């Protein structure tokens, strides 16, 4: 039921939750600051080679696939260090790690901007992987949970919505900078933004001490993570993540090899972004009325349905229907990955659980693009779609199993 003093909120005003927060509240400031630092962080790292990659390859004397392997190196490093960092986030909060991550991000981009061959280039992405583990997505979500308290679900919804604009904003900006000054100066500009924008915002606005920290100190031993729930959640998230990141760089090729001309393939692929944004608003608008499981299961169910559409027909109409279903599913699951752990795990271990969940997620993100590319190259588009269909059904099944387990545990606790 609504809290005392609750007032009617118009359903046609999707940003009403933010408007209701005092403008200078710590939650509103933190979400605004993190939206900016996440845009810079992801735009200056993972999204960078999409624009600067060809110029980097020419000047460094490297093949373009090796240039594009940089983000994969970054994601693998993030996965390797996320689990050890889970205790650090739980004990000390997100603020010190996000500040350190900002400095490491600036250092990694500096190495990249000065690189003269493959070794320093790969080194730069290794440093950026360490930076990402300290400041990208999972740390930002932990930082929000430390400040927002009961408003965490709503605040995370705003942060996820803002994150959907990253490529839309950062790619044109990167293209403009590169056209004016070249890829090296562009990289150094982003390094400067990490140093002069991200680090001060992380230092000045994030919580000095997590709200749960005093409670955790009073506990004789930290609360344990329920491993069956964690395993099912990680399996579902990693499986859907494998599909979405696998198609992220190959969707246009998939449409073209299925028979669409380039213009039609590009139009259908571009519409995925619009549908994904719509999917991200679903939880934001209805999150207070719907369970995280309800939206998560609905989004997860749309994935196999979308692949079935494309398997049955390769027309432009089918491609647009696929783009709609797939985009909405991607948007919903992006929010679910941030908010469902709040419903599964106690607030006191949210930071630890989220950091540990980042391990299978980042590994699946890193492995997906080359594997899907290989399947499409050697077995064809239909084989890639059948693989995606099977994995998405598995993801739905594990999430459904988690929901049934959660209901059973909740029912048992009510009976006792």
pTM over 0.85: no
Lowest model confidence (mean pLDDT) among 76-85, 94-103, 341-350: 341-350
**pLDDT, average across residues 190-210:** 90
**pLDDT, average across residues 288-294:** 76
Query: Which has more confidence, 94 or 266?
Result: 94
Query: Which has more confidence, 3 or 62?
Result: 62
Say what the pLDDT of residue 279 is: 85
Say what the pLDDT of residue 151 is: 81
pLDDT of 372 higher than 70: yes
Sign, CA dihedral 300-46-95-93, equals: positive
Residues 69-94 as b/e (b if ≥16 CB within 10 A, e otherwise) read: bbbbbbbbbbbebbbebbebbbeebb
Per-residue pLDDT band for 344 (boundaries 50, 70, 90) equals confident
**pLDDT, average across residues 207-215:** 58
Lowest model confidence (mean pLDDT) among 96-110, 144-158, 179-193, 310-324: 144-158
Query: Which has more confidence, 149 or 102?
Result: 102
**pLDDT, average across residues 27-34:** 91
Say what the pLDDT of residue 299 is: 92
pLDDT of 394 higher than 50: yes
**pLDDT, average across residues 60-76:** 91
Selection from 360, 340, 333 nearest residue 75 by Cα? 360
Say what the pLDDT of residue 285 is: 72
CA distances from 158 to 2, 285, 309, 379 (A): 20, 10, 31, 40
Per-residue pLDDT band for 43 (boundaries 50, 70, 90) equals very high
Say what the pLDDT of residue 287 is: 56
Say what the pLDDT of residue 254 is: 83
Sign, CA dihedral 130-250-67-165, equals: negative
Say what the pLDDT of residue 4 is: 38
Say what the pLDDT of residue 211 is: 52
Per-residue pLDDT band for 286 (boundaries 50, 70, 90) equals low
**pLDDT, average across residues 172-186:** 94
**pLDDT, average across residues 131-146:** 93
pLDDT of 12 higher than 60: no
**pLDDT, average across residues 401-407:** 90
Residues 111-131 as b/e (b if ≥16 CB within 10 A, e otherwise) read: bbbebeeeeebbebbbbbbbb
Selection from 280, 207, 161 nearest residue 25 by Cα? 207
Say what the pLDDT of residue 248 is: 74
Query: Which has more confidence, 264 or 8?
Result: 264
Three state DSSP letters for 154-209:
HHHHHHHHHHCCHHHHHHHHHHHHHHHHHHHHHHHHHHHHHHHHHHHHHHHHCCCC
The tens digit of pLDDT for each residue in 226-260 reads: 889 999 999 999 999 999 888 876 787 788 887 88
Say what the pLDDT of residue 284 is: 67
**pLDDT, average across residues 372-383:** 86
Asked whether 389 and 311 are in contact (CB, 8 A), the reply is yes
Per-residue pLDDT band for 193 (boundaries 50, 70, 90) equals very high
- The length of the chain is 416
pLDDT of 26 higher than 70: yes
Say what the pLDDT of residue 23 is: 39
Say what the pLDDT of residue 11 is: 37
pLDDT of 380 higher than 80: yes
Average pLDDT score over the chain: 85
Say what the pLDDT of residue 194 is: 97
**pLDDT, average across residues 80-108:** 93
pLDDT of 202 higher than 60: yes
């Amino acid at each position: 039921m609504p809290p005392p003093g609750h007032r009617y909120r118009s359903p046609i005003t999707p940003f009403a939750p933010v408007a209701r927060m005092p403008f200078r509240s710590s939650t509103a400031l933190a979400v605004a600051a993190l939206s900016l630092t996440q845009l810079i962080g992801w735009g200056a790292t993972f999204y960078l080679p999409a624009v600067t990659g060809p110029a980097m390859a020419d000047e460094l004397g490297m093949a373009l696939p090796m240039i594009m392997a940089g983000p994969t190196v970054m994601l693998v490093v993030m996965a390797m260090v996320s689990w050890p960092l889970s205790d650090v986030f739980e004990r000390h909060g997100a603020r010190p790690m996000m500040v350190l991550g900002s400095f490491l991000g600036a250092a990694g981009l500096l190495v990249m901007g000065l690189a003269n061959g493959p070794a320093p280039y790969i080194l730069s992405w290794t440093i950026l992987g360490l930076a990402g583990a300290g400041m990208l997505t999972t740390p930002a979500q932990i930082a929000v949970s430390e400040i927002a308290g009961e408003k965490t679900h709503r605040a995370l919804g705003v942060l996820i919505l803002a994150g959907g604009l990253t490529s839309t904003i950062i790619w044109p900006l990167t293209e403009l900078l590169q056209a004016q000054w070249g890829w090296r100066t562009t990289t150094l500009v982003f390094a400067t933004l990490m140093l002069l924008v991200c680090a001060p915002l992380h230092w000045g606005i994030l919580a000095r001490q997590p709200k749960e920290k005093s409670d955790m100190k009073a506990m004789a031993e930290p609360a344990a993570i329920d491993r069956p729930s964690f395993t099912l959640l990680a399996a579902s998230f990693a499986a859907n993540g494998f599909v979405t990141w696998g198609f992220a760089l190959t969707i246009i090729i998939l449409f073209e090899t299925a028979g669409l001309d380039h213009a039609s393939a590009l139009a259908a692929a571009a519409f995925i972004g619009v549908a994904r944004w719509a999917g991200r608003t679903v939880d934001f608008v209805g999150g207070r009325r719907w369970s995280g499981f309800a939206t998560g299961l609905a989004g997860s169910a749309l994935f196999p349905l979308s692949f079935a559409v494309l398997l049955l027909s390769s027309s432009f109409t089918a491609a647009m229907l696929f783009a709609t279903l797939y985009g909405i599913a991607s948007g919903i699951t992006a929010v679910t990955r941030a908010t469902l752990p709040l419903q599964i795990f106690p607030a006191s271990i949210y930071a630890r659980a989220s950091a540990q969940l980042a391990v299978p997620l980042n590994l699946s993100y890193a492995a997906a693009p080359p594997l899907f590319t290989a399947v499409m190259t050697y077995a064809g588009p239909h084989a890639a779609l059948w693989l995606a269909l099977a994995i998405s059904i598995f993801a739905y099944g594990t999430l459904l199993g988690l929901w049934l387990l959660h209901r059973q545990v909740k029912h048992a606790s009510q009976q006792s």
